[in-house]
Every structure is written in C-alpha cells, then in structure tokens.
Amino acid sequence: MAGVTVRQISEKADLKKFINLTREIYKDDPNWIQPLTIERMDVLRADKNPYYEHAQVALFLAERDGKPVARISAQIDELAQKQWGPNLGHFGFFEAADEEAANAVLQSAEAWLKDKGMERMQGPWSFSANEEVGTLVEGFDTPPCIMMPHGRPQYNGWLTDHSFEKAKDMFAYSIDLRNPMPDRAMRIVKMAEKNKRVTMRPIDMKDFENELAIIMDIFNEAWSENWGYVKFTDAEAKHAAANLKPVVKAYRTYICEYDGEPVAFMLTIPDVNHKLRDLNGNLLPTGIFKLLYRMFNGKEDRCRVPLMGVRKKFQKGPLGAAMSMWMIDVSRQHVEKRGAYFGELGWILEDNDGMNSILLEIGCKVYKTYRVYEKKIG
C-alpha cells in the first residue's frame, strides 16, 4: 500500500474534494446519503459560515497516489473555550477509507492543535453542537436524517486505537407517527391543556424573524448547561433561520407560553435527506427540480425534531414535561394527517434523564447512538 500524504487545504477545488470523499467512502453503503455539495460548501467556507467569526479552523485532506482517502477538520472555538476550558481543541468531519489514512489525518489535526497550545482534543464536532455531532456507533442499518452524521463501524476502533476515549454518547429516538400517544402520556398532556396559565400556539410565519428570535432565546437558555453546548451567536441564529425558513411550517412549530411569557418551543422539519438520497449531492442539471417537486407535493413522509427547549425554571417539574409532550402530540397529529409515518427526535445526551424519560414515555425508541471522543494531547 502506497504511503499517505496529508495537506492543509483552503482552495475551492480542494473543498470539493474534501466533500466528495464520502462518495467513495460510502459507495457500498446502501444507507449513505450524500449531502448536497452546495450545502456543505456553505458550512465549510469562512465567508459563508458565521462559526468562523469565533473559531480558528484547519481542514486537512489525506491522499494516496493523488487520490483522496481521508479528511478531518481541527478547530479552536473561542466560545467553547470560555464555556468548557481554555485548553480544549476540537476535530470534526472525520472520514477515512482505511486505518492508515485515519491515523494520518488524526495525527495532522492533533499536531495543529498542540502547536496552538491545546491540551485536549475532542470530537467529532462538525463544527459545533449546533451542527453535526459525533460519529455513529450504533444504528448503521438505517439512513441518517437531515443534519445528522453517519459513519462506518470501523471508526470506533480506529479512534480508540489512536488513544481516544469516550467522552459522551448521544441518542437519536424514532417514533411511529401513526400511533397515538400512550394513555399515561396523554394524562400528562392534559395537565398542560387544563392549566389556564399555559397556552400553546403555532408560530406566526408573517413575523418569522421575531418568532425565531424567541425560539433561539429559549433554546440558548434551555441548553446553556448541557454538556458541550455553545450558544448561538446572533449571526449564527440569523444564518440558521435563513436555512430553516424554507422548511418551517406553522402547523409543526409551536411555542408554549406561561402567563403570556414564551417558555417552551418545538420545531419539526421534514427529513429532506429522504427526498434527496438519489441525487448523489448534485442539484444540477435536474436534481433541483426533483427536490422541489418532492418538497412541495404535499406529503410529509418522514420528519425530524432538530430543536426543542424548555426554560430552566420548568425543566425539572411536571409542567415542563407536560408542555413538551403536548407540543409533540399536536405536531404528530398534524404531520400524520399529511402522510408522515416516521419521526426522529435527537440528539439527546445519554445522561439527560428528564428528556430521555419523556421520549420513552411517549413511545419513542433509541435507534441510533452517536459518540464524542476525547484524548489528552498536552
């Protein structure tokens, strides 16, 4: 086997090689869905992604005989360091064709982080908790939903052989949207419905920017103490809102208010991955027409809840759980009427006992597990 060379990249042509590597890595995986190249470019380019405003990023591409065989990012997030320690560096976008190539890019990312004074290396964060997190360790038999990573079964062994240890697992839950909530869960939902101080409403699409500002404010507070989380900046919130607006609908996006104050929300989006899996990442020449038709033909099919939050003062009480279940049930009813049969809720930290209990209570099942790793490098 010829040797592997690794280089740091920045040119647009190299970014496309970085993105397109997964076409080869997963060519024999029937569950892989190649992301849209245009969307991945939007994430990876410093002039497009506001994450770069508070982070240093290096992208590395490994090649063998001129052919890309592995990739990785190394990044130092100023906001993550303030929250989780000044010596913490991250890696992400990790993919490799074989263990030699994996070791090569991991060593390059580690050397870059060490050179900048980092003492811990943690990931995959691609790039942050607000984007794709972890690598898949259980659940390879189903395709990933939108905004969720995939992975190869070998990655866990290659990372642990490189002295990485588990830092935290995250769960993704599945739910059959055609099934009504269990009776016990519905009794809890009634608690919120009957509480005269609590109201639930769909978002006002005519006031989308202000409604998204409310959602982001709740989300940043609700998640502020969750392991690994870094709050959305204003620029990141606006960027996320612009990306989400085409797929947000009032009938599956809800805000709960307590005495008129917004205290909880849930956002459900269609699983766009399900609609683009045969496009191989290309919108041209005909992919864009196929995607638009599939998005607007009136069928929901599959859905995902990427954002959900309850303000801290309600998180550990029964009313917080009741509001969460209420929003889930109402959204479920609306999307099921439009043909949806599958829902994903995640990711959820393995030690988030409250949310894990709520999801199990309403009939969800853990169907995928993602892992973040860490090692000392200083």
Alpha-carbon distances of 6 from 40, 55, 103, 307, rounded to whole Å = 21, 22, 11, 36
Cα 27 from Cα 32, distance rounded (Å): 8
Sign for the pseudo-dihedral over CA of 234, 223, 327, 258: negative
Do residues 340 and 175 touch, judged by C-beta distance below 8 A?
A: no
pLDDT for the residue numbered 24: 95
More confident residue, 336 or 284: 336
Q: Which amino acid, one-letter code, is at 62?
A: A
pLDDT in tens, 227-276: 999 999 999 988 988 888 888 999 999 999 999 999 999 999 999 888 88
Model confidence at 109: pLDDT above 70? yes
pLDDT of 282 reads 77
Cα separation, 126 vs 75, in Å, equals 9
Q: Indicate left, alpha or beta for 241 from its phi (over 0: left) and psi (-120 to 50: alpha).
A: alpha
Q: How many residues does the chain have?
A: 378
- Residue 297 clears pLDDT 90, i.e. is over it: no
Is the pLDDT at 313 greater than 80? The verdict is: yes
- Domains of the chain (ranges, CATH numbers): 5-172 (3.40.630.30), 175-366 (3.40.630.30)
Please state the pTM of the whole predicted model: 0.94
What's the mean pLDDT when you consider all of the chain? 93
Distance, in Å, from the CA atom of 232 to the CA atom of 41, rounded to the nearest integer, reads 20
User: 3-state SS string over the chain?
Assistant: CCCCEEEEECCHHHHHHHHHHHHHHCCCCCCCCCCCHHHHHHHHCCCCCHHHHHEEEEEEEEEECCEEEEEEEEEEEHHHHHHHCCCEEEEEEEEECCHHHHHHHHHHHHHHHHHCCCCEEEECEECCCCCEECEEEECCCCCCCCCCCCCCCHHHHHHHHCCCEEEEEEEEEEEECCCCCCHHHHHHHHHHHHCCCEEEEECCHHHHHHHHHHHHHHHHHHCCCCCCCCCCCHHHHHHHHHHHHHHCCHHHEEEEEECCEEEEEEEEEECCHHHHCCCCCCCCCCHHHHHHHHHCCCCCCEEEEEEEEECHHHHCCHHHHHHHHHHHHHHHHHHHHCCCCEEEEEEEECCCHHHHHHHHHCCCEEEEEEEEEEEECC
Q: What mean pLDDT comes out for the span 298-306? A: 86
Residue 296 has pLDDT above 80, yes or no: no
Q: Nearest CA to 257 among 192, 166, 343, 342?
A: 192
Is residue 1 predicted with pLDDT exceeding 60? no
Band of pLDDT at residue 298, cut at 50, 70 and 90: low
Give residue 288's pLDDT: 73
Rounded Cα gap, residues 67 and 166, in angstroms:
31
Percent of the chain scoring above 90 in pLDDT: 84
Q: What percent of the chain has pLDDT over 70?
A: 97
Residue 300 banded pLDDT, cuts 50, 70, 90: confident
**Arithmetic mean of pLDDT, 194-205:** 96
Give the pLDDT score at 242.
87
The four Cα atoms 124, 127, 130, 133 give a dihedral, to 10 degrees, of -20
- For the residues 91-107, what does the mean pLDDT come to? 98
**pLDDT of 184 above 70:** yes
What are the beta bridge partners of residue 120?
A: 88, 376
What number of other Cβ atoms are within 10 A of residue 38's Cβ?
Answer: 13
Question: CB burial class (10 A; 0-12, 13-18, 19+) of residue 16?
Answer: middle
**What's the pLDDT tens digit per position in 14-64?**
999 999 999 999 999 999 999 999 999 999 999 999 999 999 999 999 999
Residue 350 is predicted with a pLDDT of 97
Residue-wise pLDDT tens digits, 201-216: 999 999 998 999 999 9
**161, amino acid identity:** D
Going by pLDDT thresholds of 50, 70 and 90, the confidence category of residue 2 is: low
